[in-house]
Amino acid sequence: MGGWRDMSAQALEDQYSPSRWSPRLDRDTIIDAHLAVTAAGTERARASAQTSLHVPYGKGDGEKLDIYLPTDHSGSHMDTMVLQVRRSLAFLVEQYPGIRGIYLCGHSAGAHLAAMVLLTDWTEFHVVPDIRVALPSGAVLVSGVYDLEPILHTYVNDALNMSREVAQRNSPMRHVAPAVPAACEVLVVVAQHDSPEFRRQSQEYGQALRAAGWSVSLLDLAGVDHFDVIEKLSEDSYILTQVILNMISRA
């Protein structure tokens, strides 16, 4: 058949280990560097915005939101995580009924969760038929994984412990539905120095959404890897920053 099924176990491990693909830093230091950059960015964001941190939206220990407000005031662990993200959006709509829209931006595993949000039947969460606020209004999926089956054969699944059934149920690629009139705009982003498997998944998922009638843009960013593709969002001149701001301004 070709593709990931023909790879050796070690080759597949490498494909889903982003730290092995960056030309900037070696794999033993790039994750620590990435954590340091993102932690510093979080501190800057919290210092420059009004925040409500660790807001519970459910009873589980992990069911908490960090909410950043504009200063001008204008069956499995995987199943559980997907449900938590969906519930958190329903909570936001209920808690802040005056907002104009909700925009998701997810990176890596976060991009997968954001893509799963696009599959949500919101009638189960009692937020429709009042659909004045689309859920979400826009989605930015950065260097994500949209078919989880290959991960079953890698170290990534050691923590997730997914069965094939769970992986298939939580694979956005396998559940692309025709776009509805209220469907949001989707931006699928991939880095030049993502692994070939990450790049393939982003390209194929974006194409599948487009074929189903979704409004999709594919953005292949040169000169960045799996980590600084998201780190650079703190830079006003970064193309992805500009594209996201433009998406929001059109609302």
Catalytic residues: 108, 194, 226
β-pairing, 138-142 vs 103-107, is parallel
Residue type, 148: L
> Distance between CA 166 and CA 235 in Å, rounded?
38
- Please give the helix or strand (H or E) that residue 45 lies within, else none: helix 30-47
> Distance between CA 53 and CA 64 in Å, rounded?
8
| Residue 13: how many other CB atoms lie within 10 Å | 15
- Could you identify the residue written with the tokens 């004045």? 132
- Could you identify the residue written with the tokens 């994984």? 145
Contact 140, 106 (CB under 8 A): yes
Contact 60, 232 (CB under 8 A): no
